[in-house]
Amino acid sequence: MSNGSPTVRRRRLGAQLRDLRKTSGSNVEEIAEAFGVTPSTIYRMELGRVGVKARDVGLFAKLYNVQDEDLIKELTSLARDGNKRGWWAKYSDTISPPYATYIGLEEETTRLHIYDGLIINGLLQTKDYARATFDFASVRNREQAERRIELRMERQNRVKGKQLQLWNILDEAAIRRVIGGPTVMRQQLEHLLNLAALQNTTIQILPFGAGVYPGMLGSFTIMEFGPSGDPDEPEYKHPDVVYIEGHTADVYEEENVTPFRRVLEDLQKAALSAEETMTMIRGAIDNLS
């Protein structure tokens, strides 16, 4: 098994356990009783939100009448990998479980398509711009905010290291809204130009003159995954995921990704080209100067 994101391993294991339960015709209530937990815990395991202990795989196999030793070995390996701590665990005191789930998925994604409406995406932010965004956010204290900023900067390593393909569509409002003052904003826009020059990064601006499009109702991210890298199952690929951040809850959509792709295509067509985008950003920098 490859040393991938434990979040992805947990989700993969959960999906297989769910399929096995349905194939066996097992009742969730009965499975929960066998484990001495509530049915909601079984559902959370199947969603990858709760880890499965390696020693519990044997009981799952017995309950679902799984006799394939290779499959049991794979499930056990996934359980072990799923319970490992990702590098972001050191920030667990400052981030919520849903956000940790997102970071775990982001760590293994190979391509991100992002639409942002009012603010520059965290993967493209400078430290000073990020700090300015926390000035108006609900953060308990400055130390906690600094820890979150450190995490945001560490997440950017895969972009700067060209390990991640990033396609970001920004509404023009994101480069016009001066956050942190003219100096901070100018440095942020210059940072966007530098990132846009990377081969793995494409940035497009949706200008005010483009009118209204469905995707403008809210920001969203489409996460694409490549092959697992597992020598035992090289063809396995985690399903693409749409992530929508909410004020009260985050949404992960795997079954209805196509509508979001269509919206994204419309936004890409309406947005300025990469070259025109860089010209607009340079103009915004000149205005700040």
Q: Binning pLDDT at 50, 70 and 90, where does residue 92 land? A: confident
The CATH number of residue 22's host domain is: 1.10.260.40
Which of 129, 148, 150, 128 is CA-nearest to residue 138?
A: 148
Q: Is the pLDDT of residue 9 over 70?
A: yes
Q: Which tokens in the block code for residue 82? A: 């799923």
Would you say how long the chain is, in residues?
Answer: 289
Adjacency order of strands within the sheet including 251-253:
201-206, 165-171, 111-116, 220-224, 241-244, 251-253
Q: List the beta bridge partners of residue 170.
A: 116, 205
DSSP 197: T
Q: Which of 84, 101, 123 represents a domain boundary (last residue)?
A: 84
Q: Domain boundary residue among 55, 84, 113? A: 84
What's the pLDDT score for residue 229?
54
pTM for this prediction: 0.82
Per-residue pLDDT reduced to its tens digit, 151-192? 999 999 999 999 999 999 999 999 999 999 999 999 999 999
Total domains present in the chain: 2
Residue 240 burial (CB count, 10 A): 18
Residue-number span of the structural domain to which 126 is assigned = 88-288
Residue 1 lies in a domain: no
Question: Helix, strand, or coil here: 109?
Answer: coil
The pLDDT value recorded for residue 235 is 58
Q: Does one domain contain both 78 and 146?
A: no
- Is the pLDDT assigned to residue 2 strictly greater than 60? no
- Among the three residues 84, 113, 137, which one is the final residue of a domain in this structure? 84
> Residue 138 — very low, low, confident or very high, per pLDDT cuts 50/70/90?
low
Q: What is the pLDDT of residues 189-212, one digit of tens each?
A: 999 999 999 999 999 999 998 887
Judge residue 248's burial from the number of C-beta atoms within 10 Å of its C-beta, 0-12 exposed, 13-18 middle, 19 or more buried. exposed
Q: What is the pLDDT of residue 216?
A: 66
Provide the pLDDT confidence category of residue 31 given band limits of 50, 70 and 90: very high
Q: Are residues 69 and 16 in the same domain?
A: yes
Q: Are residues 115 and 214 in the same domain?
A: yes
Q: What is the pLDDT of residues 242-259, one digit of tens each?
A: 998 776 667 888 888 999
Candidates 81, 74, 19, 85; CA nearest to 46 is 19
